[in-house]
Amino acid sequence: MLSLVLAACDQPDAPLLPYGASHCRSLALHDEDGRLVVGVEDMAVDHQRGMLYLAAYNRRIALDETPAPSLYPGGLLALALDDLEKGGESLTVTSLTRADHDAMRPHGLDLWIGQNGDGNGDRNGNGNADHKRILYSIDRAPYHDSRGRLITDQPRIIALGLDESGTLITHITHQSFIGTGLCHPNMVVALAPDRLLISNDLASCSKSGRWADQMFNRANGAVALLDAQGATKLRDDLAFANGLAVADLDGRPHLIIAETRGKNLRILDLGDVRNPAPAPALAPAPALAGLPKLIALAAAPDNINRGDDGAFYIAALDHLLSYALFRAFNAPFSQPDSIIYRLELTADGRVHLSKVLKIDGKVFPGATSAVKSGSHLIMGSAFGEGLAICTLHSAKEKTTMGQGDKP
């Protein structure tokens, strides 16, 4: 908590464009057994098939032990976007990982959409709604290895192949981080089914080392390319590497990194990172020389999600100290406010940043993910219950949901 105090200094926002949201409401989620879903920390959207995928686990219960039957322990969930139009205060979601294990701790979520059923091609699956789908997440839950040993400190990647309905699993694969040097993975983004980008928020592998990393705000977070050859670090000087997203600009992939403690978004030109060639080139493309490498924010960004308008939506914590108190003590007086940003990158390297919404923590505490679908802005929280749903608008109307608004 003290380390977050050191990172809580405010800095000015980048210029903002008028874009906002209002008419917000809360939406409770329950699994098939009627248990309340808590801790939707990240989301992924299949805009073509109208599916919303959620990574959730209840961080206030001990998931390394058997949770009470009345508590939802955690997993990957599916929800039809059309259900959001039905109104009401509650929805039932489909548990995707239920058959695999009951105590998943998903961290980050990414949906890969391949082409022609082979898992390759444009990660957005442009032009065909029948492409292969793979849902990726990082699982920090304890698990038993092939020898039956309980592994408590080695996260792994879980990949779920989805059927055409998007709610049934065709296959599940796991990949260990052992030997990669990535001890605290946070987010995964697929460039191809066998080429993944991983954010590693803290460098140290031991609990004491991670405590020191946080206490002294060491900028040693990393982003690495993980493929058949192993892990190649692209940057290892990041101030808590968190959310990741990939944008194609002028025919070249660019990586957007959320540095939570640095309160900024960093943009890297990935060059030929998609190709199984030498180490990826990180030199800026000549045509995009004006593209900023760093975008300063007034809040601490978490996850980054692409909306159906092609823009990226970033959930950011307004005050890290308030979030630390809320996370550690669930203090009612420190429910953290959040800011949702919209980031649009044009093909010629221009950046448009707008503040969509500032949401009062008493209404929805500590939003860690947000995404646009249709007229909806959808938000999740690593420590909150269910989702928050807001109506989007582009005029200079109300851009703050206050305590007195009806959630």
Buried b (16+ CB within 10 A) or exposed e, 244-281: bbbbebeebbbbbbbbbbbbbbbbbbbbebbeeeeebe
Model confidence pLDDT, tens digit, residues 175-196: 888 888 898 999 999 999 989 9
- Cα 68 from Cα 94, distance rounded (Å): 20
The mean pLDDT of the chain is 81
Give the 3-state secondary structure of residue 172.
strand
pLDDT at 398 (0 to 100): 40
Phi and psi angles of residue 350, each rounded to the nearest 5 degrees, phi first = -90, 150
At 102, the pLDDT band (50, 70, 90 cuts) reads low
pLDDT at 242 (0 to 100): 96
Residue 404 reports pLDDT greater than 50: no
Query: Which secondary structure element, helix H or strand E, spans residue 28, and what is its range?
Result: strand 20-30
Residue 122 reports pLDDT greater than 90: no
Residue 73 reports pLDDT greater than 80: yes
Q: By mean pLDDT, which of 233-237, 343-347, 401-405 is the weakest?
A: 401-405
Other beta carbons less than 10 A from residue 46's beta carbon? 19
Burial (CB count <10 Å: 0-12, 13-18, 19+), residue 84: buried
| Interval 336-358 mean pLDDT | 90
Q: By mean pLDDT, which of 9-23, 195-209, 246-260, 372-386 is the weakest?
A: 9-23
Model confidence pLDDT, tens digit, residues 262-302: 999 999 888 755 444 434 444 444 446 567 789 999 999 99
Residue 144 reports pLDDT greater than 90: no
